[in-house]
Structure 1
C-alpha cells in the first residue's frame, strides 16, 4: 500500500509520540488498510488528554488491548461530538470487532493503555469470514461472538506475543494464505478510499448476473455495509483532507474554496458540512486539533 505523502505541520512539542501505523505487506494490500498501535504507558496524561477521536469510516476493525482498556463515549446530543462528561460505556470482550461507522466516534481511556487496531477493507473481511458488514454498521461487539474459531485462536496468539512487530507478523502470516485463497479475480487497489471505491464499483459491475445500477449498488452494500454514495463521500472527504494539509505545508495557507472546488464540493460551506459529518469538526478545528491535542493522534498517524 502506498504511504500517504510525508508532511509536517506545526505540532505541539508537548504531544507524546502518536503511535505507529504498520502498512501491510504487498500481498495483503487489498485486504488490510493498516494496523494502528498506540501506547500511553509511562506518559503523564490528564483525563482530557486520554480522549481519542476517530472519523466515520468504511473500514471494519479488530482491536486488542495489551495494557489498560477503553470506554466509548455516548454523545448527550444526537449528532454532536462526545464530551468527557458524557456517558462512558466499557467495551465488551477481550477483543472487539467493529463494523463500518457512518458517524465520528470518541473513546476515553481511564489510565495508561497499549492497544492495537487492525483495519480491514470490508469487502475483504466479508470474503475472508462470510460476515456481512451491514450487520455491524455503527457497532462495536465482542469478537468472540462473531469471529470463526481459527480467528479467535489467532487473536489469542497476538495477545500473548511479546512485542508489536511479532503481533503484526502473526496477524499477516494468518491472513495471507486465507486471503490468497479467496481474493477476487479483479485486483483491487487500496492506496486511498478513492482508489478502492473505484475498483469496488468495477468489481461489482462484473460480478454475478445483472448489470443495472441498482444491482451494482446492492452488491457494494452487501460487501461493505454502506451505500456506494456514502463510500464516495468518504473518499472525497479523505482526499480533501490530504489536499488541505499539503497546501498548509507547501504554501503556509489553505484556500478552502479551492479545496472544495478541486474535490467536487458545491462550495466551501458544503465542504464544511461534510467535514463535520465525517469527523465531528470543521476543517479548521480539525487541523488545529491535529496540531495541538492528544485526542487527534489517529489523524496524525495517517499523516
Structure 2
C-alpha cells in the first residue's frame, strides 16, 4: 500500500522463520521515539483477531482505551486502563481494541497461533478470549525468563532471534504431523478443520467444532468470517496499489460475502469501522498504522 506522506513509517512486520510458520503469525515492532505527536496521533487502533499476543515495551507505555458504548470507538475522552503487567498476554479478541500512548513508545508484539500456543503451554485459548492479562499470571516460568531476556537485548533483530530460538526447539517437540504451509486466516481455518478430523476418534460435526474451539478459542464460523474479512482487506489493498477506485461491491463478491452490506457488518464488527471509513483512516490518520503495516507486509 502507498505510504501516506504526512504519516510516520508504520513500523516493521517480521515474518517467522520457515520452521515456525505454524506457530508464529508475525512480529510487529512500532517506535515513535524521536517523533513529535499530538494526543490524537498517539491513539492506536487494532482489529479483532483470532491470534493470541505477547507484548513488550522497551521505551514508554500504553494504556487501554475503554469503550463507552458499542456504537462508537473510544477516543481521548474515554476511560483508560494501565497495562496489567510488565509483559501483557492477550487471548483471541472478538472486538476491536484501542490504546493510547502518553509519550514516545517502542514496543513489540508477537502474534501466536492459538492452537500452537495450546500445544506449547497447555493454555486454553477459549478461557483467555477477549482478555489481556499479566503474562506472569498465565505463562510458564521458562517463558517469563525468555520475556526478560528479550527485554534486556539492545535491538529488535536480536530480540526476535531470541524469541525464535526459544520457540523453535519447543515447537519441534510438540507440533502436529499435519503441517501448515500458509498464513492467511482462511487457510488456517481449513487447516484446523483437517487437523480436527484426523486427530481423534470423534468425527461428528459437533465434535469437530468443539475441538476447533478448544484449540483456537473461537468457533469455526467466526474463524471463517475472519478469513473472508482478511481477503476483503487485501482486495482493497490491491486496488490501492493499482491506483484504481475501490469498488466495495466487487470486494465483497471476491471475498465471499453475500453482498456489500454483509461486508460492511463484518468489517464494522472486526475493526469498528465501515470499509470506506477504515480505508480513509488508513490514508489519513496515524492511529491506523497497524492496518497500513499489515498492508505493506
What TM-score, normalized by structure 2, do the two folds share?
0.97
The question of 1:41 aligning with 2:33 is answered: yes
Structure 2 gap segments, 5+ residues each: none
The question of 1:110 aligning with 2:102 is answered: yes
CA distance in 2, matches of 1:111, 1:217: 44
The question of 1:283 aligning with 2:275 is answered: yes
CA distance in 2, matches of 1:166, 1:265: 42
**Aligned-partner SS, 2:242:** helix
Calculate the aligned-residue CA RMSD, in Å: 1.0
Corresponding residue number in structure 2 for 1:17: 9
Corresponding residue number in structure 1 for 2:139: 147
The question of 1:76 aligning with 2:68 is answered: yes
Residue among 268, 282, 289 paired with 1:297: 289
Residue 301 (structure 1) shift: 1.1
CA distance in 2, matches of 1:148, 1:239: 35
Which stretches of structure 1, 4 residues or more, deviate above 6 A after TM superposition?
A: none
CA distance in 1, matches of 2:200, 2:143: 29
Does the aligned pair in 2 maintain the 1:52–1:295 contact within 8 Å? yes
Structure 1 gap segments, 5+ residues each: 1-7
1:178-212 per-position Cα deviation (integer Å, ceiling 9, x unaligned): 00000001111342111111111100111111111
**Aligned-partner SS, 1:206:** helix
The question of 1:225 aligning with 2:229 is answered: no
Corresponding residue number in structure 1 for 2:23: 31
Residue 251 (structure 1) shift: 5.0
CA distance in 2, matches of 1:145, 1:138: 16
What TM-score, normalized by structure 1, do the two folds share?
0.95
Residue among 212, 235, 238 paired with 1:246: 238
Aligned residues: 295
